[in-house]
Amino acid sequence: MWRTFPGHAILIKQNGKAHVPGACDHMTEDEVLPPRWGWIIDPPPALWGDIQESNPAIATGGNTGLRAVSRCQDCMGSLGNT
């Protein structure tokens, strides 16, 4: 269970990849710190599914200069959207 980020938040890594808290096991909450990470605490409901290069998700917290242009495949699998 993550403490800082709600399960519907979108985490944005420096490489442009979007993650969802707890949906993949290759990162921990303790790693999610600026400047390597940005986040959107309360994203619009459809934002996760809309993330792509032509429609990036822009961080509103942490490193607000980060943009997600793709989604983590492991997170997508855990959430049931492939």
Tens of pLDDT along 56-75?
999 999 999 999 999 999 99
Task: Enter the pTM of the model.
Answer: 0.94
Give residue 16's region: left, alpha or beta (phi > 0; psi -120 to 50): left
Q: What is the pLDDT of residues 3-51, one digit of tens each?
A: 999 999 999 999 999 999 999 998 999 999 999 999 999 999 999 999 9
Delimit the domains of the chain by residue range.
10-79
